[in-house]
Amino acid sequence: MSLYEKIKNKQEKISLVGLGYVGMPIAVAFARKAEVIGFDTNKEKIDLYKKGIDPTKEVGDEAIKETTVDFTSDETRLQEAKFHIVAVPTPVRADHTPDLTPLESASRTVGRNLTKGSIVVFESTVYPGVTEEVCVPILEEASGLKYGVDFKVGYSPERINPGDKVHRLETIVKVVSGMDAETLDEVAKVYELVVDAGVHRAESIKVAEAAKVIENSQRDINIAFMNELSIIFNKLDIDTKAVLEAAGTKWNFLNFSPGLVGGHCIGVDPYYLTYKAEQMGYHSQIILSGRKINDDMGKYVVENVVKNLIKADVPVKEANVAILGFTFKENMPDTRNTRVIDIVHELEEYGIKPMIVDPQADAKEAEREYGIHFHSLEDISEMDAVVIAVGHEEFSHFTQDDFDKMFKGQKNENKVLIDLKGILNRKEYEAAGYRYWRL
């Protein structure tokens, strides 16, 4: 009987290593069809899951309460599983080089508890070659087992879009790969248990790794193009959003918008590809150019905040500025690699200490990662400028009266309103006399 059949018949277990925004939804999905062990080194997170609390808000508290996932921070429990899925983050360092530390650590953990006949599938985004050249040697060393004989390896890049309730694991075609034809077949069949959209069998692990890393690189380049257009159109005094709405009437115009590019995928993955390219003697032209544009957007935004404060006759160093939103994306708590922090730091360069409000963000994470302390919305008053940095649903319901309460009692033309996501009606606020600006 194959490993797939044993998993299907609940004779063997699946383990999920890394229960964050990607791993946890995968664990919950598989638990509907198989026996699943959910492992994470973060005991605090495991305790929340055991209590039926979803700190990621990806599947919701109810789903966590109902799931049969066996949550644990005891790595020896991994010995009970034969099919291991590793879904840990792959960030970059300050110098934009890949930081494989979480992936290497997870590989050692799995290796220490690996048993003969197991398959290990990696989901983390990496440059081509990492699975076989970095992870496999660690698995062999930690386990004492032989690759290809005692255990097999596959790669299936995660495609979960955090915060997206439409495009989920079950509804997105899953790319799968294996070290050989037999492993590929086993991996494909296991994922087909939960992926209703089906799987695409890549011809090799490196092909699957490359496919993933270019998906986000492509999005990054397209957003960089929009950001560059925004810079140009602002100089021409043309509303970028209006231009994109007009151009979007053509059937093949790509629907992208300008904005801050953060998170643990789009703002990170291109650096993995360009790092590998450099190793092979090729210096990226397009990819790194797009990265530079996107990485500089925080500075560009603050330059325009300052320009508008000056036009409003507000002394820059004494200005009161509020930032609404701190997460890297709307309607979710994840603050990892948020580029709103760039706005904070740039404002501080001008002597401005902004007040930050985010009803969705993980406050503990923001304090731990950035030293940021959030204020409540009620604290926001007597402001000279308000920056809507993230398009949370709460902010989209704000009326002009709501914004009036945030500002000093002065003429509207001295109230600087920066709407990065374009969630407000520009004409309405300009007609009311606000000094309104958006990307």
pLDDT grade, residue 195 (50/70/90)? very high
Residue 163 has what pLDDT?
Answer: 62
CA–CA gap between residue 219 and residue 262 (Å, rounded) = 12
pLDDT value at 164 more than 80: no
Torsion over CA of 31, 35, 41 and 46, rounded to 10 degrees? 50
CA–CA gap between residue 230 and residue 24 (Å, rounded) = 37
Q: Which residues contact 407 (CB under 8 A, 6 or more apart)?
A: 381, 382, 383, 384, 386, 415
pLDDT value at 253 more than 90: yes
Give a yes or no: residue 258 inside a domain: yes
Which strands, in side-by-side order, build the sheet including 416-419?
Answer: 355-357, 321-324, 385-388, 416-419, 435-437
| Residue with tokens 């966590």, as numbered in its chain | 64
- CATH code of the domain covering residue 268: 1.10.1040
Q: Which residues contact 171 (CB under 8 A, 6 or more apart)?
A: 196, 197
SS3 category, 93: coil
Task: Please confirm, yes or no, whether 265 is among the known catalytic residues.
Answer: yes
**Catalytic-role residue among 3, 19, 261, 265:** 265
Residue 410 has what pLDDT?
Answer: 74
- As a whole-number percent, the residues of the chain with pLDDT over 70 amount to 98
Residues 13 and 112 in one domain: yes
Give a yes or no: residue 87 inside a domain: yes
Among 206, 232, 259, give the residue marking a domain's end. 206
Residue 167 has what pLDDT?
Answer: 65
- CA angle 33–34–39, rounded 5-degree value: 125
CA–CA gap between residue 327 and residue 26 (Å, rounded) = 23
pLDDT in tens, 66-106: 999 999 999 999 999 999 999 999 999 989 999 999 999 99
SS3 category, 234: helix
Residue with more model confidence, 162 or 299: 299
Residues 158 and 267 in one domain: no
The closest alpha carbon to 226, from 210, 203, 248, belongs to 248
- CATH code of the domain covering residue 9: 3.40.50.720
Q: What average pLDDT does the structure give for the chain? A: 93
Alpha helices in 56-147 (DSSP H): 61-66, 101-112, 130, 136-143
Residue pair 227/292 in contact (Cβ under 8 Å)? The answer is: no
Q: Which residues contact 157 (CB under 8 A, 6 or more apart)?
A: 123, 125, 175, 208, 209, 211, 212, 215
pLDDT grade, residue 165 (50/70/90)? low
Among 176, 206, 236, give the residue marking a domain's end. 206
Give a yes or no: residue 327 inside a domain: no
pLDDT grade, residue 59 (50/70/90)? confident
The encoded tokens of residue 60 equal 């919701």
pLDDT value at 413 more than 90: no
Give the Cβ contact number of residue 249 at 10 Å.
7
Tally of structural domains, the chain: 2
CA–CA gap between residue 390 and residue 357 (Å, rounded) = 10
Burial class (CB in 10 A: 0-12, 13-18, 19+), 93: exposed
Residue 337 has what pLDDT?
Answer: 87
pLDDT in tens, 322-355: 999 999 989 888 888 899 999 999 999 999 999 9
Give a yes or no: residue 11 inside a domain: yes
CA–CA gap between residue 166 and residue 159 (Å, rounded) = 12
Residue pair 328/335 in contact (Cβ under 8 Å)? The answer is: yes
Residue pair 393/330 in contact (Cβ under 8 Å)? The answer is: yes
CA–CA gap between residue 302 and residue 300 (Å, rounded) = 6
What is the arithmetic mean of pLDDT over 432-437?
Answer: 91
Alpha helices in 340-425 (DSSP H): 340-349, 363-370, 393-396, 400-406
pLDDT in tens, 11-53: 999 999 999 888 999 999 999 999 999 999 999 999 999 999 9
Amino acid at 218: Q
Determine the structural domain holding residue 23 and report its residue range.
3-206
Residues 243 and 275 in one domain: yes
| Size (the chain), residues | 439
The encoded tokens of residue 193 equal 């248990």
Residues 173 and 33 in one domain: yes
pLDDT in tens, 151-160: 999 999 988 7
Residues 72 and 219 in one domain: no
pLDDT value at 384 more than 90: yes
Residue pair 362/334 in contact (Cβ under 8 Å)? The answer is: yes
Residue 166 has what pLDDT?
Answer: 61
Residues 139 and 252 in one domain: no
Residues 80 and 178 in one domain: yes
Give a yes or no: residue 336 inside a domain: no
CA–CA gap between residue 213 and residue 157 (Å, rounded) = 9
pLDDT value at 162 more than 80: no
Among 177, 206, 235, give the residue marking a domain's end. 206
| Residue with tokens 């590019």, as numbered in its chain | 261
Residue pair 186/119 in contact (Cβ under 8 Å)? The answer is: yes
Residues 164 and 20 in one domain: yes
pLDDT value at 288 more than 80: yes
